[in-house]
């Protein structure tokens, strides 16, 4: 094989052969192809795209670059959820113990946040003692003992994706449906679950704000999962406004525990329960996930999971020493609260990172004191900003300029679950 021929094939709009794909993925993963050559092929894929069968082979080659977890010893149906990310999206913290309490095993291999979207591991690491890095043996043991685990993906699962993702991040080749889909699905298929539900966010706070692109990504990932023997469906969910009221690591843990205790914001609960119902349906389990919130089973399972990973589920979250409120500029109905602006504000307050190696604050973030549809009075606090340093407030308030619309009429309610695909 000649890497130049592979690049030229895609550059000129051709379909890469199965042999070319498998050779390229193997060679790049094992450092036999230069970074600039791999970058050239990625950019050609951004411009030229990939055919469905070509993308299936590409994903399979990434999957085959490492191990695939064998969950057959668990003895329970296995199902997972993946979200494309949003602002205030703490669904996993509630969903995982909820479905585990209904009798499925949920091995969620998750990640950390980058930019305005938060990461599940960052949120859980706000809990004193909680540990994200588990061995394969520990994952299997906890699935058998507790029924659920949320942890970091090890380096042995789809290592090709780890290398390619890092390269895409620095070469302007992230925004490509085939590359996004293969990145997500190679890791998720490697988990070895029987079924997978995808939460594809659309709206201002989403990675792909446009619903047409979100639908294309969802359809592409469902096709890949099905082709690899994983029962896969997707829900398109709204991300115009933050989900729930908290955006920030420890703040979101606190809100998640409120939901698990039978309270919490209605929008967060609606999306979480819809995803849980979809997961249980794919797993063939006839159960009401919402009932686990009312009778305490989900909260008990959450505490078991946190404790099994070294955390203290009863610990108080760190409190930010600095706080500042954003006031309503007029009286009327809150018609819009821009999710991306809130996410960027939380990031600038210290809850997010610009580079993967950056530290994040456990206590920084934004509390939404009002949500779209609420009536507010001029001068009423709309948002509460939490930071470790007062110097972070200027950047956060700048991000929130133009993020709020207030008018004399209440906005039409927005559906939270927009479409089901699969």
Active-site pick, 29, 65, 78, 83: 83
Instruction: Name the residue range of residue 29's domain.
Output: 3-49
Predicted confidence band of residue 116 (pLDDT cuts 50, 70, 90): confident
What does the pLDDT average to over 199-220? Answer: 95
Residue 149 lies in a domain: yes
90 catalytic? Reply is no
CATH number of the domain where residue 38 is located:
1.20.970.10
What local confidence, expressed as pLDDT, does residue 70 receive?
Answer: 93
392 catalytic? Reply is no
183 catalytic? Reply is yes
Are the C-beta atoms of 21 and 54 separated by less than 8 Å?
Answer: yes
Residue 402 lies in a domain: yes
CATH number of the domain where residue 331 is located:
3.90.1170.30
188 catalytic? Reply is yes
Query: Both 302 and 386 in a single domain?
Result: no
Q: Quote the Cα angle for 399-402-408, to 5°.
A: 145
194 catalytic? Reply is no
Q: How many angstroms separate the CA atoms of 334 and 323, rounded? A: 22
Residue 57 lies in a domain: no
Active-site pick, 90, 188, 215, 386: 188
Residue 24 lies in a domain: yes
Query: Both 299 and 329 in a single domain?
Result: no
What local confidence, expressed as pLDDT, does residue 136 receive?
Answer: 92
112 catalytic? Reply is no
CATH number of the domain where residue 283 is located:
3.40.1030.10
Query: Both 45 and 106 in a single domain?
Result: no
Q: Phi first, then psi: give them for residue 233, nearest 5 degrees.
A: -135, 170
Query: Both 172 and 255 in a single domain?
Result: yes
82 catalytic? Reply is yes
Residue 189 lies in a domain: yes
Query: Both 12 and 116 in a single domain?
Result: no
Checking if the pLDDT of 358 tops 90, the result is: no
Across the chain, mean pLDDT equals 95
What local confidence, expressed as pLDDT, does residue 113 receive?
Answer: 75
What does the pLDDT average to over 382-404? Answer: 97
Mind listing the pLDDT tens digit for each residue in 308-348?
Answer: 999 999 999 999 999 999 999 999 999 999 999 999 999 99
| Residue where one domain finishes, among candidates 308, 342, 359 | 308
pTM, 2 dp: 0.95
Better-scored residue on pLDDT, 352 or 189: 189
Predicted confidence band of residue 118 (pLDDT cuts 50, 70, 90): confident
Predicted confidence band of residue 117 (pLDDT cuts 50, 70, 90): confident
Residue 315 lies in a domain: no
Better-scored residue on pLDDT, 239 or 154: 239
What local confidence, expressed as pLDDT, does residue 170 receive?
Answer: 86
Query: In the chain, what percentage of residues exceed pLDDT 70?
Result: 99
Query: Both 280 and 339 in a single domain?
Result: no
Active-site pick, 22, 82, 123, 201: 82
Mind listing the pLDDT tens digit for each residue in 19-53?
Answer: 999 999 999 999 999 999 999 999 999 999 999 99
What local confidence, expressed as pLDDT, does residue 154 receive?
Answer: 81
187 catalytic? Reply is yes
Mind listing the pLDDT tens digit for each residue in 150-177?
Answer: 999 888 899 999 999 889 988 989 889 9
186 catalytic? Reply is no
What local confidence, expressed as pLDDT, does residue 176 receive?
Answer: 93
Q: Tokens in use for 254?
A: 């606190």
Query: Both 136 and 246 in a single domain?
Result: yes
What does the pLDDT average to over 101-116? Answer: 88
The tally of domains found in the chain comes to 3
Query: Both 185 and 248 in a single domain?
Result: yes
Query: Both 123 and 199 in a single domain?
Result: yes
| Residue 279: exposure state from Cβ atoms within 10 A (0-12, 13-18, ≥19) | buried
Active-site pick, 29, 78, 120, 223: 120
What does the pLDDT average to over 217-244? Answer: 97
């Amino acid at each position: 094989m000649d890497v130049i021929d592979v690049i030229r094939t895609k550059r000129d709009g051709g379909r890469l052969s199965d042999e070319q794909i498998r050779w390229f993925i193997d060679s790049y993963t094992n450092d036999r192809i230069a970074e600039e050559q791999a970058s050239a092929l990625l950019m050609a894929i951004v411009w030229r795209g990939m055919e469905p069968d070509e993308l299936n082979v590409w994903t399979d080659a990434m999957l085959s670059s490492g191990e695939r977890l064998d969950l057959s010893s668990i003895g329970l149906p296995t199902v997972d959820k993946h979200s494309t990310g949003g602002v205030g999206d703490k669904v996993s913290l509630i969903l995982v113990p909820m479905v585990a309490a209904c009798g499925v095993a949920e091995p969620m291999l998750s990640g950390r946040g980058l930019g305005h979207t938060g990461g599940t591991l960052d949120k859980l690491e706000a809990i004193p003692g909680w540990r994200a890095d588990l061995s394969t043996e520990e994952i299997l043991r906890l699935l058998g003992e507790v029924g659920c685990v949320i942890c970091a993906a090890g380096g042995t699962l789809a290592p090709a994706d780890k290398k390619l993702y890092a390269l895409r991040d620095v070469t302007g080749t992230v925004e490509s449906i085939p590359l996004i889909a293969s990145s997500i699905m190679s890791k998720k298929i490697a988990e070895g679950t029987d079924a997978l539900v995808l939460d594809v966010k659309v709206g201002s706070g989403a990675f792909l704000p446009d619903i047409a692109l979100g639908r294309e990504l969802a359809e592409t990932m469902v096709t890949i999962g099905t082709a690899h023997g994983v029962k896969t469906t997707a829900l398109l969910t709204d991300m115009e406004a933050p989900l729930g009221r908290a955006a920030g690591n420890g703040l979101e843990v606190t809100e998640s525990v409120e939901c698990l205790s039978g309270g919490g914001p209605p929008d967060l609960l609606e999306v979480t329960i819809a995803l849980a119902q979809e997961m249980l349906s794919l797993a063939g389990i006839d159960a009401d996930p919402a009932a686990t919130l009312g009778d305490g089973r989900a909260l008990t399972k959450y505490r078991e999971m946190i404790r099994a990973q070294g955390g203290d589920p009863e610990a108080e979250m760190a409190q930010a020493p600095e706080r500042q409120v954003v006031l309503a500029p007029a009286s009327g109905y809150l018609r819009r609260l821009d999710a991306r602006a809130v996410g960027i504000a939380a990031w600038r307050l210290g809850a997010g990172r610009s580079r993967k190696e950056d530290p994040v604050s456990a206590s920084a973030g934004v509390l939404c004191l009002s949500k779209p549809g609420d009536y507010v009075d001029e001068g009423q606090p709309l948002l509460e900003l939490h930071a470790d340093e007062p110097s972070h407030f200027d950047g956060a308030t700048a991000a929130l300029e133009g993020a709020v619309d207030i008018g004399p009429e209440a906005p039409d309610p927005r559906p939270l679950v927009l479409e089901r695909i699969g």
